[in-house]
């Protein structure tokens, strides 16, 4: 089956800055794909390479089997939802949504009907006569979505789509985006720096750092089995155990990652690994207590369920965890 988006050894260098450096990527048709990374990691440049706003300095890009290098944005069957929405301030909402159809030369009546349908799909029916300035951030986001989807793109690109929304709206939009993607069957590629967003929405995630993909996999893969120190650290806040600690546990490795919620404080079962340590700090986070434990000078964070008793600062404790939760990494 033809990949929706294919990157072969793609680079985009700005002078000496390697924004995207030799990236290989294959996004399947109908997939909800997330590109996750800190700012400056190259994820947005990758998105812009797909949209056609940037041209690669090396490598090959295909969109549904068609070569994309040298093809301008207006001749690609992809559409973008911009981070700042980029709604046209001088046009009504209806004309904003109908813009793509208008420049294609589709008649006024037909394009307005299609735009109305698209607005209904994003739950903004009857908002057509308003101006972008009269809408809230969440509504503008929906308009931007409708404006892109009305063109029936093969791939929809979303640049930090929920970044400007408040928490509650963000969670609601996450669900809506997900169900919209399922019902339309369009390939969604979205860029985010929020690991929670990527984990909850995406079918697969590519974690970017320094212009390269650090790890590509399902959310479970990325979260449970981080392959590099960067991924372990960026996706959630894993503990990284040094080789010295690993050796003490009887697992020879350069480093290993351990999720804070995989550790229990207190008595251990026979098959579990244990580490002694001293509690140095604790804070209540609602669902869990976050406890910092010092083990031979290495700080280990434990997320202990709020129902469990919390040891006092200075208390000597045993940390217990299963060997299966310990993920070995190459030195990185």
Secondary structure (3-state) at 11: strand
For the record, the structure tokens of 171 come out as 């969670």
Nearer to other proteins by Cβ, of 115 and 279: the residue is 115
Nearest residue to 119 via CA among 91, 98, 138: 98
Nearer to other proteins, 145 or 329 (CB): 145
Binding site for other proteins (CB under 8 A): 51-53, 72-74, 78-80, 82-84, 86-91, 99-100, 102-104, 131-133, 147-148, 151
Instruction: Give backbone dihedrals phi and psi of 7, rounded to 5 degrees, phi first.
Output: -110, 125
CB 313 within 8 A of CB 282: yes
Q: Between 86 and 249, name the residue whose CB sits nearer to other proteins.
A: 86
Closest distance to other proteins from the beta carbon of 72 (Å): 7
For other proteins, the closer CB: 80 or 224 = 80
Q: Cβ 90 to other proteins, closest distance in Å?
A: 4
CA neighbours closer than 13 Å in the CB half-sphere of residue 251: 22
CB of 82 to other proteins, least distance (A): 5
Nearest to 261 by CA among 224, 221, 220: 224
| Neighbour-count burial for 138-154, b at 16+ CB within 10 Å, e otherwise | bbbbbbbbbbbbbbebb
How near is the Cβ of 141 to other proteins at its closest, in Å?
14
Instruction: Name the residue nearer to other proteins (CB basis): 131 or 154.
Output: 131
Going 186 to 187 to 193 to 197, the CA torsion angle's sign is: positive
Can you tell me the distance from the alpha carbon of 323 to that of 306, in angstroms, rounded to the nearest whole number?
24
Q: Shortest approach of other proteins to residue 155 CB, angstroms?
A: 12
Shortest approach of other proteins to residue 104 CB, angstroms?
A: 6
Nearer to other proteins, 165 or 235 (CB): 165
- The Cα 270–Cα 267 span in angstroms is 10
């Amino acid at each position: 089956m033809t990949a929706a988006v294919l990157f072969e050894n793609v680079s985009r260098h700005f002078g000496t800055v390697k924004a995207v450096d030799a990236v290989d990527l294959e996004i399947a048709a109908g997939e909800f794909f997330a590109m996750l990374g800190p700012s400056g990691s190259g994820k947005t440049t990758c998105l812009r390479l797909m949209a056609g706003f940037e041209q690669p300095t090396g490598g090959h890009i295909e969109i549904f089997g068609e070569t994309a290098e040298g093809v301008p944005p207006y001749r690609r069957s992809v559409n973008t939802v911009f981070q700042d929405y980029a709604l046209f301030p001088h046009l009504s909402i209806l004309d904003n949504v109908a813009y793509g159809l208008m420049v294609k030369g589709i008649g006024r009546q037909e394009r307005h009907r299609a735009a109305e349908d698209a607005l209904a799909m994003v739950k903004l029916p009857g908002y057509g006569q308003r101006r972008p300035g009269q809408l809230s951030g969440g509504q503008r986001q929906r308009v931007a979505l409708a404006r892109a989807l009305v063109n029936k793109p093969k791939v929809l690109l979303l640049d930090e789509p929920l970044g400007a929304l408040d928490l509650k709206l963000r969670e609601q939009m996450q669900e809506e985006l997900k169900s919209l993607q399922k019902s339309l069957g369009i390939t969604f590629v979205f860029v985010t720096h929020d690991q929670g967003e990527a984990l909850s929405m995406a079918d697969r995630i590519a974690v970017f750092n320094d212009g390269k993909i650090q790890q590509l996999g399902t959310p479970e893969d990325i979260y449970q089995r981080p392959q590099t120190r960067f991924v372990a650290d960026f996706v959630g806040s894993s503990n990284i155990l040094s080789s010295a600690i690993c050796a003490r546990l009887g697992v020879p490795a350069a480093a290993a990652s351990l999720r804070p919620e995989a550790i229990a404080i207190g008595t251990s079962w026979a098959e579990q690994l244990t580490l002694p340590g001293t509690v140095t700090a604790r804070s209540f986070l609602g669902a869990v207590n976050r406890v910092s434990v010092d083990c031979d000078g290495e700080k280990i964070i434990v997320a202990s369920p709020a129902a469990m008793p919390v040891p006092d600062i200075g208390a000597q404790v045993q940390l217990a965890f299963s060997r299966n939760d310990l993920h070995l990494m190459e030195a990185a």
